[in-house]
Amino acid sequence: MVKITVYQNHDQQFVGFDCLGHAEYSDENDIVCAAVSAMTINCINSIETFTETLFYCDTNEADGMISFRITEKNGTDAQLLLKSLILGFENMESNYEEYIDLIFEEV
């Protein structure tokens, strides 16, 4: 199962997320893992390319881990991109609930 934890500050701004694990939807074509990875990597690349937001990102492919934290300049563009990512996560969770666990935490 992919466990996704989304972090929000006291102002309800998204400040990061962690994805951990593999969906194990299929041995051959794990579309759930592939979709989560593609959405996540695209969001991070978009924040890096289209915003001035500073962030930290760490990955470990073997564990299926991506850790992303905004460190500075958390602007509206980055928030919109994160909201879009979270919308995708929510839709995936509703369709593949036994493979994705989406959690929100205030930090």
Full domain range(s) for residue 54: 2-106
Looking up residue 21, the CATH number of its domain turns out to be: 3.30.70.1490
Instruction: Count how many domains the chain has.
Output: 1
Local confidence pLDDT in tens for the 107 residues of the chain: 999 999 999 999 999 999 999 898 988 888 999 999 999 999 999 999 999 999 999 999 888 899 999 999 889 999 999 999 999 999 999 999 999 999 999 99
Q: What is the DSSP string of 51-63?
A: ---EEEEEEEGGG
pLDDT of residue 67: 97
- Average of per-residue pLDDT values in the chain: 95
Residue 43 near residue 80 (C-beta atoms within 8 A): no
Interval 24-38: pLDDT, tens = 898 888 899 999 999
